[in-house]
Amino acid sequence: MAGKEKQPKIITDKNQMRTWTRAMRTQGKTIALVPTMGFLHDGHLSLIQEAHKHTQLVVVSIYVNPSQFAPSEDLSTYPSDFEGDIRKLMAVPGGIDVVFHPHNLYDYGVESARDCAGNGGMAAVSCLEESGSGHETWVRVERLEKGMCGSSRPVFFRGVATVVTKLFNIVEPDVAVFGKKDYQQWRIIRRMVRDLDFSINIVGFEIVRDADGLAMSSRNVRLSPEERLKALSINRSLSKAKSAAERGELNCKRLKNLVVDEVREAGGELDYAEIVEQESLEVVEEIKSPVVILIAAWFGEVRLIDNMEINI
């Protein structure tokens, strides 16, 4: 007989969220947070199952964060299906306890400062600033955010670190679980937590892939069948490079070329491909310690990221 599905409590107010957390703490409960932007897939659900291994209660946040999108990026087209997300969450073994679904984490109950975006000669602004929210405080992990996604998306990691800090201060979790598909993001959050003395254990969960090898992403639904077939070159090329390294090819330029050539031949447009040390994210020329190959590529109008660790 199938188990009864668990209906999560839905909280939209940040003060109510904090009150719930503190009430649970008085009962001696431990809490995990799984931050998401919704449109959940099996990768997200795997993060929730991992969270259950670490704490007694699980909170899933669903919030599309405007501060990590530049005005030219796909905030307006980011997929959303809140009712479908709730159905999926109810079906997760063990269920979840709370869905934190705020309308606007940057609403401070004051009149918006319409001139905040663009003043002061900022090189790049986010959708949040363009909207004139009046938000002025940012969290940056200065060295780790440079390069790779930080080069092509200059407001992205500032927005991610800031909204995650806000979520941590609101939910006050003991554990937070992040997918390692967003490898640079995961490392940035770990460093931020260390540097700012958050008492939170950051758990990184391995990439979840579809049966054809494509890393699960909410953006995958925007790929045409032909584009999806071409995008399989990403995982295929990463696997070839890893196999070559395990056979003794330690020259990073040659390994990187294996990745770049395969993706380009499949019709992908490279944003970047880099081989970096796993913790520092510093580019290496020869593998002498654990590294990770990171890639971002466009297929049509969809930008996909992926990575593969090499531990030799």
DSSP structure string for 78-146:
----HHHHHHHHHHSTT--SEEE--S-TT--SS---TT-SSTT--S---HHHHTT---------TTTTS
68, 156 Cβ separation under 8 angstroms: yes
Distance CA 121, CA 16 (A): 38
Structure token digits, residue 293 = 């190959």
Task: Give me the catalytic one of 44, 52, 101, 135.
Answer: 44
**Residue 136 burial class via C-beta count within 10 angstroms: exposed 0-12, middle 13-18, buried 19 and up:** exposed
Residue 7 is classified by DSSP as P
Select from 228, 210, 219, 211 the least CA-distant residue to 182: 219
Q: With residue 259 as reference, give the H or E element that holds it.
A: helix 252-265
Select from 236, 237, 233, 171 the least CA-distant residue to 199: 171
Q: With residue 19 as reference, give the H or E element that holds it.
A: helix 14-26
Distance CA 110, CA 138 (A): 19
Start-to-end CA distance of the chain, whole Å, equals 46
Q: With residue 195 as reference, give the H or E element that holds it.
A: helix 183-195
Please confirm, yes or no, whether 44 is among the known catalytic residues: yes
Active-site positions? 44
